[in-house]
A and B are shown apart, each in its own frame.
Chain A
Amino acid sequence: MKAILFLALVLSAVQDLSPLHAEPQTGMLVGRVVYMGPAIPEQVVEVTRDSAFCGTQATLRPMTLHPKTRGLEGAVVSIDGVASPLSNPAVPALVLTNTRCAFTPRLAVGVVGQQVEIRNDDPIMHNTHISMGPRTLVNVAMIPASRPVGKPLKQSGIYTVKCDAHKFMQAHILAFTHPFFSLTDETGAFRIPSLPPGEHQVTIWHDTLGTVQQSVTIAAQGETHVTLEYPNHADARKQ
């Protein structure tokens, strides 16, 4: 009984203090991912199935660069190794839709435990096959007007999304165990808030260019600005 009382006192004390204590200083990483190497041109592939609906050709874009800034769209910037409990389990589902014989979006980022919701808007059948390396996360047939299928992301890492019936359809999902990640916009820009000050290893991933890492030092307060440059793809691919 005494012990409980004591605990209660300690707890209330901690609570009282917390507004002063618990606001540790954090900084924000703000920047842009750029690529100065030669752009990889679009690839046109022939569509041999369901051409009446999908068209006879599909255009694959290995990279999307902003003409002015050389910013790289669709790169994922993340910082691992910062202790942080994932505080928000109620994140909305990542919706992945089969539309006009392509996945929308082509790249999604989320956290472990988050639901992926697969939909099909097309009048033809697709199968949505999500895997990480040799392990299948889910492989479901999606006939026209199927109801959506949900599956939670099981582990962190890079998932590949394919349709085995339409070989040219591809997408990726990146899953993290922390909130310190950001997807670059059409100008290559990103921001990652709430980072503890100090040196961090930043990982940048792009589906064509692969993975590169760089260290940054986050200032004790405010924004730390960086430009992260991808090496020429010919070099990047070797690793």
Chain B
Amino acid sequence: MHAKRLKYVAILIITGLCASTAQAVKPTTNRDTLTEGRRIYEQTCAWCHGIGGEADGPAGWFIGRYSSPRPRNFLKDGYKLRSTASGDLPTDQDLFTLITRGIPGVMPAYRALNEQERWQVIAYLKSWNPAFEEEKPVPLTLPQAPSAPTETAIHNGRNLYVKYDCRVCHGDNGEGDGPEATAGHLRDGNNLPIRATNLTDPSAWKNGASAHDLFRTLMTGLDGTPMPSYANEFAGREEALWELVWYIQSLSGQQRK
């Protein structure tokens, strides 16, 4: 195993693909990758996502045919949890992170699969959607969080929360009870009613709760939901976006940690 890892590392260095390998090194794809990926998929994921990837697995129906979120349909749907611009596909690394972390409340974390198995299952689910061949997803530049927030920064963040109408969906105090949410107006990509996230309870967040994760969520938006990308608003104004991130963290008392 160790030797194998070293080999991958060597290959990557040789081919100069050193970027975005922070979490795991993606092995090269060969003929067995898809065969293996399929086996793992059918054992592990098909329950919800369906044998053919069309979100029609038995447990997928059980979760609730008419309630959001439906499991992802790998043939047609776009992706929520990405490091890429709104409308773009996720990078391989995004998919790897997602499968490793799972999605709170709806999809298990798959740390039980070893890294190679996770890569194999990713290759398999991507093979259903030709867009992965045609489009080359590029991650947005996401900087590291600057030093700890001040009271003033959080106060500025609150003003941005108001100015950018987060309240319309997430409510005045972030509890997910904004007027458009309570009126039942919000719909997901399958036209099913969807809730606006409660921003005071990070344990339920899908895209992670660190400052860096929140920054990414606001830059990318969550495709297939009403949550828009604010990348255009914050372009060249990273400082302001950190303030908003800190304000959101303050809603659950996180900033004191």
Contacts and interface: CB of A to CB of B under 8 A. Distances in A.
Majority SS at the chain A contact face: strand
A164 B189 contact: no
Contact of A134 (B180, B183, B224, B226): B224
Nearest to A152: B87
Interface string B73-91: 1001110000000110000
B226 A135 contact: no
A135 B232 contact: no
B185 interface: yes
B232 A142 contact: yes
A147 B76 contact: no
Say which size band chain B's interface belongs to: 20 to 34
Contact of A140 (B165, B183, B221): B221
Contacts of A129: 226, 228
Contact of B221 (A48, A139, A147, A151): A139
B76 A135 contact: yes
Given A136-B189, A165-B165, A165-B168, A141 B77 contact: no
B165 A125 contact: yes
Give the most central of A49, A134, A167: most B CB within 10 Å. Answer: A134
11 contacts: A125-B164, A134-B73, A134-B189, A135-B77, A135-B189, A138-B229, A140-B221, A140-B229, A140-B232, A147-B235, A164-B228
Given A127-B226, A133-B189, A164-B226, 19 more contacts: A49-B179, A49-B180, A125-B164, A131-B78, A131-B189, A134-B73, A134-B76, A134-B189, A138-B87, A139-B226, A140-B231, A141-B164, A141-B221, A141-B232, A146-B233, A147-B232, A149-B232, A154-B87, A164-B180
